[in-house]
Amino acid sequence: MKKFLFILLVLFIIPISVSAVEITSTPTSATTSVEKSISYTLKVTNDKADSDRFILTVFGRHLEWANLQGYYFEFEPRETKEISLNFYPLEEGSYNYDIQVSSVENPANRDSVLLKLYVKPLVDPDISSFTADLVGNELRLDLTVTSRKRRDMEITFDVKDSEGNTLRAMSITREVEGEKELLETMSLENLQAGAYSVDAELVGYDVKSRSNFYVAPVHNIVTSKKTVSTPLMQEVTITITNEGNVRDDYSLKEKLPVGQYVTLVDNPDAQHIEEDKVLYEWDLTGLAVGQTVEIRYTVDYWKNILGWAIMSFALLGLLGMGVIKVRRPTIRKEYLRKINERKVIIKIKGSLTRELKNVLVRDRVSPLGKVLPEFEGPKPIVRESESGTELIWRLGNVKPRSEIYLSYNIRPLLEAQLKMPRAYLTYRTDDERKVRVYSKQLILE
């Protein structure tokens, strides 16, 4: 029984002492070309608790290409060593090499790793590296050319867009022997934003290399205004040019006083009246790179002069007839400060001489203020939305010289200044024209 246990113990111990060495490689597969060296790094580890001596052996074709750092090594317990293995191939093809490491004391203690080597045909001359960098309007080319003998080589560079169209071309001739780095530059201006490539070619050797680069978008709309004035008129020409590198949109806005006689040579896309100004807007969409657009209009002073003359005669006639000039109504907006509340007061003064028809007053409160349900005087229509609260008073007809006070209370939701929009009233004239009168803006402290 004791003898049987002893045999089991020996059988159990033997596998532990075997394969106590490990070998790995970085990389395990590599590609090079004829007459160009390639390196592998072998990592050998003695996993035993005892020191040992190991032999490395290389198996495969063309062992004369291999250069191993060493074949015989001594290892301390648990020690790992990195060993260099270099190949200098002389023929193209695919090769496998079996690298084995085995213990001198116990040959059964061994390990192996399989290396693969792919050798491309020798290209001479060749472009070993090529990069292109765009800095401003200058394309910087970094090209490394190799040649086994001294040669004068013509090298061409073709810049192409994403569709393969050639945009720029350059040719140089340089003397090359061995490995030579060439640093060249190309001037690139007015390139539109997008992806581009540049091809480098050794003329007469069918050797090419490509590098890609990107032109970032630049938005640059430039405007200028030219004004030619005479006592009777003013001619304005506005020039808009897209000096960026990408199609762009632009909105031109011009403010002119109400009452001026303006002749628009180029019709605007929109126009609005803002108090005593008329705002004209031209929307220019899809301006091509380098495109220039002109917007022209004239201001006719002679029409104003003629209008004043006619008005003077009309006023004289009206004065002779005893007709009093009608004044427009006014609207003012004020507030009173209360604890946690603000009282907004809208003061309306009617016309001096005529009754106003269909008077409608509108005011708006920011979402930062809450309108309280208590009102003094006429009660408005209250409309609440995410953009704020709108208050509408329908006052009907307002007699001459009338004074009307409208008020409401709000509670600010934040401890900060509250900017109130302008209130306004609208009414109908005798000829059914709709007139709008604005108050000033109000800021609640």
Bridge partners of residue 9, in order along the sequence: none
The token pair that represents 65 in the structure block: 């290409």
Q: Domains of the chain, with CATH numbers?
A: 18-120 (2.60.40.10), 126-215 (2.60.40.2360), 221-302 (2.60.40.290), 330-444 (2.60.40.740)
Cα dist from 293 to 240, 267, 284, whole Å: 5, 13, 9
SS3 content of the chain, % helix, strand, coil (to 5): 10, 60, 30
* CB atoms closer than 10 angstroms to residue 83: 19
Residue 337 pLDDT: 86
| Pairing, β 110-120 against β 381-385 | unpaired
Of the candidates 150, 208, 205, which has an alpha carbon nearest to the alpha carbon of residue 179? 150
Q: DSSP per residue over 218-231, as a string? A: ---EEEEEEEEE-S
8 A C-beta contact, residue 170 and residue 201: no
Q: How far apart are CA 197 and CA 415, in angstroms?
A: 58
Residue 318 pLDDT: 65
Residue 321 pLDDT: 52
Q: How far apart are CA 83 and CA 24, in angstroms?
A: 10
Q: Beta-strand (E) ranges in 352-414? A: 356-365, 369-376, 381-385, 388-398, 403-412
Alpha-carbon Rg for the chain in angstroms: 45
Tens-place pLDDT, residues 20-66: 999 999 999 999 989 889 999 999 999 999 999 999 999 999 999 99
Q: How far apart are CA 44 and CA 72, in angstroms?
A: 12
8 A C-beta contact, residue 398 and residue 354: no
The list of the chain residues with pLDDT below 70 reads 1-19, 303-309, 314, 317-327
* CB atoms closer than 10 angstroms to residue 270: 11
Residue 259 pLDDT: 74
Residue 7 pLDDT: 43
Q: Determine if the pTM surpasses 0.85.
A: no
Residue 11 pLDDT: 43
Residue 15 pLDDT: 43
Residue 2 pLDDT: 47
Return the exposure string of 215-254: e unless at least 16 CB atoms fall within 10 Å of the residue's CB, then b: beeeeebeeeeeeeeeeeebebbbebbbebbbebebebeb
Q: How far apart are CA 171 and CA 164, in angstroms?
A: 19
Q: Return phi, psi of residue 116, to 5°.
A: -115, 135
Residue 100 pLDDT: 96
8 A C-beta contact, residue 94 and residue 116: yes
Residue 373 pLDDT: 86
